[in-house]
Structure 1
Amino acid sequence: MDVTILLFSILFSGAGTNQVLLVSMDGFRWDYLNRVPTPNFDRLARHGTKIEYIDNTFVTETFPCHYSIATGLFEESHGIIGNFMYDPVFNTSFDFNTREPRWWNGAEPIWVTARRQNLTSASYGWPGGDVVIRGFRPNIWFPYSKTVQFRDRIDVTIDWLTVKKIDFVALYFQEPDPTGHQYGIYSNEILEKVKELDNSIGYLLDKFDSQNLWGQVNLIVTSDHGMTGVDYVNKAVDIRNYVNMTNIRRTVESGPVMHIQPVDGKVDEVIQSLYNVRHMTAYKKADIPERWHFKNNRRVMPIFLLAERGWLITTNKTELAIYYGGSGAHGYDNKLLSMKPIFIARGPNITENHVAPTIRNIDIYPMICKLLGIEPSPNNGSLQATSNFLVNNKHVGVGGIVG
């Protein structure tokens, strides 16, 4: 056994355990909470711990960030490096509908960690939560469906916690992401959506109150990424204007990022033609910044492009207008404040009325393992990061570290 995992087991032995409900609201930018009154988010924070924002992984997209939350791993380690990917070994592509286990088996998500150690788990719409991963699904899993009302999802989740006594539950809301994409971060529509989500949180808190769950369930509300304004007409870089497309075998993704697989022997020629293009940065794979923990995966192509905040990269402006025809986007550098998500938690093991320092999204996995009383799979997160707001947590170890 890895010595750091053994340390975790020794330091955690004898601690009490409770259920955990992990809620994600897709695209909930950290400062949306400052734009309109949010009495129910405030109510949650008043009785728990709030972090101004968390540092998410790169790239700042839905599937990669959600899988980092669920596994405690950087994206290069768990392998879900984009919403769209190409795998040169599989010689096939990945999109939102891909459920083949081989794409997801590079990591162990929390619902599998729980099941492997004789606890129960459930997932309502969480990315990857309906996939067989390393031989396991959650005990109960509902695939994502945007047609199911948020209150109905909450009702099902409360039933799982109270009647079925599920130990770990992951619950996913797709908003406010599509509203931010379509209308932008300063629109009346996004403000109204934040109010609607605040009402959903209020409904959830009322359910916790009426079912007396606060003594046994730790509730974590977070998000995957933020959002920023874009202009797909006036702020788009079409690489066809700079590169000989016959030298490119394939491109993967468009918008804030793009992967390029050149024809064999053409990497240098392609990268030279893209180095000085304004409003984006072109990297050879080996030169991708280490701070992103992103490049060491075969699904990252030989050339990687990152747009300047608010700009978009494309090989087809017509397709760009279809996919990014609104006013908001994400996927940019994770150091940008506009890409930061929210974090608020409350429960029997969470400090009340507390404001905590920033953590990383990869720190959530080892924290949940601690709350559940289980041994984490090797991960990139740290328990030390969350020790300041975990109750009865004087001696904190670190989860098994990868890389």
Structure 2
Amino acid sequence: MDLTGTVMTRQQDITIMMLTVLFSNQVSARFCRKHTKQVLLVSMDGFRYDYPEKAKTPNFDKMAQDGVRAKYLQSTFTTKTLPSHYSMVTGLYDESHGIISNEMHDPEFKDDFDIQTFPDSKWWSQGEPIWITTRKHGLKSGTVHWPGGYIEIQGIGANKVHRYNDSVPFEQRIDIAIEMLAEDKFNFVCVYFNEPDLTGHIFGPDSVEIVKMVEEMDSLVGKLFSKLEQKGLQDSVNLVVTSDHGMTSTNYDNKLINIYDVVDRTYIKSTLEIGAIMQVVPEDGRDTYVVNTINKHPNIKAYRKDDIPEVWHFKNNRRVTPILVVADEGWTLTHDPDVTKRSPRTGEHGYDNGLVTMQPIFYAVGPNFVPGFFSPPFQLIDIYPMICELLSISPAPNNGTLDNTSIFLRPAHDYSSCSDISFDVIHNSP
């Protein structure tokens, strides 16, 4: 009888059992990790990743020292306000959540999207925003001036909603959000500010005015810290301050392109949007001619819908027009130069999301963030699964991943381990 084989088998069994227990402990620790279950998400529109280096930002510096700062976030295409904000709160690419731009037409609805009218929830129903995911898990949520924050899906919306109104002062928006966290005990709250985007459009990303506005937004962060401390929330709220996209310089004097100077208007049925991109519907049977003619221009590129680069995660949605035209960085598309020049811009976004100038900031601080952590770049769509983790809820299907953010998450201060979990090991007789 060969006893060697028997001994080796038993040793292997013990080794495998030990590894199994160790692995189970690691996996269980991952799922039993305690979070404070309160998150405040703040978006400062058009806050380019390198703006803090242009100005004095003691409060952002404090966030980086006490929490997490990323080199930048990889924004989604298109790098525009509505699509990027909806990607942030759903974890979905534009083609997946359906808010493909600030202006769009839905052939199924036979209707046009106009954000000024607070479009019906049907437009947003291809994605599930975090304030609804929160409600589905029995928690409470609130939105403060957030793009699309008013929507309901299957009759479920945030517990409290403050629709966007640019006349409401920034500090008042903070007070509303703090009240939701302190008095209403909401688990998730998001608040939106339309700066420094507005200043960037008017004066450009390299202006003295943008430096001043960045410092004003930094001061706002300081006021937010103070209000959190006054309410005793600093040890219970995980604060995330981020943005939707960056900004680049433009010049209407020599970088403005009239699409009808490039291709005869008789070949185009309609267009949507001006700026970095333009959606084009050609006359029947004229798509090849329109694409080829536009592509003779050295500073713009036209794509048939099927040829839109996969890396943009944009083309697979019914709202995408047959032709998409994308301008080179700094160039502007229009269908009416006279009208466009009445509201001149020296800063713009909406360009290829691979451009570094299109990337926004990311800062986070709170009981579940590792202090002093400088993170490599990650994607805007990773914010949604990260917030779900901080709320200890299961995310809806999404394109993001927790892998990119789990490296700077930690247990809360009052929760050192998962030692209360026991593992029963069965000892078999030889």
Could you give the per-residue CA deviations for residues 161-202 of structure 1, whole angstroms, max 9, x where no partner exists?
111100000010110111100011111111111111011000
Q: What's 1:268 paired with? A: 288
Amino acid paired to 2:90: T
- Aligned partner of 1:230 among 250, 256, 264: 250
- Aligned partner of 2:45 among 18, 26, 32: 26
Going from structure 1 to structure 2, the CA distance change for 1:354 and 1:13 (only over 3 Å counts) comes to closer
Q: What's 1:397 paired with? A: none
Q: What aligned pairs does 1:317-396 form with structure 2 within 5 A after superposition?
A: 317-323=337-343, 325-392=344-411
The whole-number CA distance in structure 2 between the counterparts of 1:74 and 1:266 is 30
Q: Is the 8 A contact 1:225 1:341 kept in 2?
A: yes
Q: What's 1:88 paired with? A: 107
* 1:79 Cα deviation after fit: 0.3
The whole-number CA distance in structure 2 between the counterparts of 1:11 and 1:271 is 55
Amino acid paired to 1:166: F
Q: Helix, strand or coil for the counterpart of 2:43?
A: strand
Structure 2: gaps (5+ residues): 1-26, 413-430
Question: Normalising by the residue count of structure 1, what TM-score does the alignment of the two structures yield?
Answer: 0.93
- Aligned partner of 1:58 among 68, 77, 83: 77
The whole-number CA distance in structure 1 between the counterparts of 2:109 and 2:29 is 41
Q: Helix, strand or coil for the counterpart of 2:386?
A: helix
- Aligned partner of 1:14 among 27, 32, 35: 32
The whole-number CA distance in structure 2 between the counterparts of 1:281 and 1:134 is 40
The whole-number CA distance in structure 2 between the counterparts of 1:258 and 1:142 is 31
Q: Helix, strand or coil for the counterpart of 2:132?
A: helix
Amino acid paired to 1:264: D
Q: Is the 8 A contact 1:251 1:260 kept in 2?
A: yes
Amino acid paired to 1:16: K
Aligned residue pairs, count: 386
- Aligned partner of 1:279 among 263, 282, 299: 299
* 1:132 Cα deviation after fit: 2.0
* 1:16 Cα deviation after fit: 2.1
Q: Is the 8 A contact 1:12 1:373 kept in 2?
A: no
Q: Is the 8 A contact 1:58 1:292 kept in 2?
A: yes
The whole-number CA distance in structure 1 between the counterparts of 2:184 and 2:400 is 30
Amino acid paired to 2:295: Y
Q: Helix, strand or coil for the counterpart of 1:30?
A: coil
Q: Is the 8 A contact 1:24 1:224 kept in 2?
A: yes
Q: What's 1:255 paired with? A: 275
Amino acid paired to 2:80: E
Q: Helix, strand or coil for the counterpart of 1:373?
A: coil
* 1:346 Cα deviation after fit: 0.6
* 1:147 Cα deviation after fit: 1.2
* 1:223 Cα deviation after fit: 0.1
Amino acid paired to 2:155: G
* 1:233 Cα deviation after fit: 2.3
Identity %: 46
Q: Is the 8 A contact 1:247 1:266 kept in 2?
A: yes
The whole-number CA distance in structure 2 between the counterparts of 1:207 and 1:191 is 25
Q: What aligned pairs does 1:131-170 form with structure 2 within 5 A after superposition?
A: 131-170=151-190
The question of 1:75 aligning with 2:127 is answered: no
* 1:14 Cα deviation after fit: 2.7
Amino acid paired to 1:23: V
* 1:209 Cα deviation after fit: 2.1
Q: What aligned pairs does 1:37-52 form with structure 2 within 5 A after superposition?
A: 37-52=56-71
Q: Is the 8 A contact 1:25 1:223 kept in 2?
A: yes
Q: What's 1:245 paired with? A: 265
